[in-house]
A and B are shown apart, each in its own frame.
Chain A
């Protein structure tokens, strides 16, 4: 009886071990590979969130782009200068006068990581894959103006646009337009390629252990230079305070997305170097243009008057962000900061009270009005929401903060169901990317459901005019109307990109978009 039982238990135990071993074998093989070459240069980068995708066509967020930038190459590059395109896979290019025909001459002798040659066919395939609705590419919208892609010869591609579209080069230079190998993707499919990406970039994809790390190894034959680093490991560390602990303890070499107080603390550590560049991302408060009472401009102005925005931004973002007055960052043309700043509202309790009283008298606002301020689960934005909710309490408004997961928050915002929300935006340095998708009627990111003819027209004009001062006037017009006349948003802060790195990391500079460029024509990051 007992013998039998022991037998059963032993079998069960064996089964468990089997399961453990089968997964352990793979790992063991990798481990050996690691230990055999002891003096490998490995750079460990901490990232706040694990990317969901590595296939450029499918990538939807910053971290995916950041990784893809090291695995793939784009036709043109903005890695060293985020405003001006420089050659990458395309050695040179021509744009016709009307701004509708782009001809790219590809660099010869570039190979994918699997040894295949890169040709114009791959370029055509990649861009068409982005435009193909079946792939549901998040970057599809940037290629909407494309009419036709022609392969002239193996190393020449011509792209024809339906109408001139100024930010087109930016779209081509974004990591989401990284060129993928036609042959491989056609064979294994988009999803499989997502888990086993092959590009032309400085690093080859090696392994991805979800929620633990993604490992890249160097591509010796990279066309710019052989990377100095042998391996790059990206580690997703969701808690900012843990990230700070890790960089201090030496678990990672580069940390990003740190909290202001941690940056201050880490800057006193002699073994670490703190580097900051002004970034290309904005945090803002948005109001609904459709839901009462938020749709009443007096309500929005009252909130603006009620909350000491300057103090809130200083208190919450500290040195990691500067007060914003417009959507378009100061470094991006056209600069209208002075006008916007002059017309921003300063805290004024009496005016706030007066406006709220007016609204109450007209029956638009009830005393003790209950509503939610929506924000994502990010410490900064949650704190802003908390501060606003607290300030409004003293005006007899019962605001509560709902810090939601993206999965819940995004559908809510897309449907325009949020009365007040704290959101952010980051993009490339072109005014169109900072305005059209947010303020144009019916745009995907227009969470306020804002709709104004003047603004719409100005934004449409801005897309058509190429590189002229008139273009700037249009964007100024749109911003002035939406932000300091209608007060549909309160811009909070342009956040800086600060990276903290180990002293022995050489040649690394943070990029305004928060990418990690490791090998470019100007740099080749190394570890001493």
Chain B
């Protein structure tokens, strides 16, 4: 009786919880305002823009070549894929065709980046959900890949390796042997990670049925990559619009069924195996030849959009003459080009006015669109599921905010 009286007078109010920009589980500076009713999320509002660096505006003030290191820092975890995307976009705009060896090298590097990015995703996703040992086991492989990057390009994370028309330098035998050894050992390691979490009842309870989105809604929201493929839509830019050497290697695109967190996790784990397969094929099929196209622009490309002539003359003449130019390479026009980065579809819309600087460089980043889908996914779930959902959409704030 008394309890009923107390309950009649009890007034409940929703709680507004701020998951601030500094939070270990938000994978960067993402701020979430959660309106809670008890433990259930009624409304979720993400606030982004804490890592906005004005990349699009900066690109308008630099030549096409000088803008490349800015592209590294978009999704800093998979920087090689961003660079390749930019180079593919500019090559399609200019009409430059990279040589075959460069295409295979770029494909191989993109897939190495995909493995390394998915490993980091798995490590942080599992860490947030409580499975800490996966983080430590999987970073062993990531270190191997980062050492391989350092061997060739000189930097582990923000490589500025692809060039417009090819790649910056050649890969040597030591690199290919080490990479081949990696591809032989990696399938066993994937099984190790799966032993730790795949059948674990806690993992299954925390991921099955959470964040379900239907195929139609996912396409409407603009999701791409494994986030979309978990809902059953097999859209992969590598198959729909192949670039580099993707039309010459065999691989499958894993597709989920239910569209929940577990299916997206399975999609990414399968993608690890497929990437391994692609790398092996690239190493076996790698052709010999040049690595940079003949008509690719030089590093000190003038701002008028011409190619440089390398004069045969004396030492001093070669240094100071900046005006030896041959034909114009930058046509006036616009082009949209998309590549499949580990997070989804990265689109470059480049508008050129005939000079050596882009007039408008628009970056369509997958993380931006996925973060906008977060309110829809979170509705009706509990606070602990919000952590799982941030992990499953796999956002990197550098890409989201540019």
A-B interaction = no
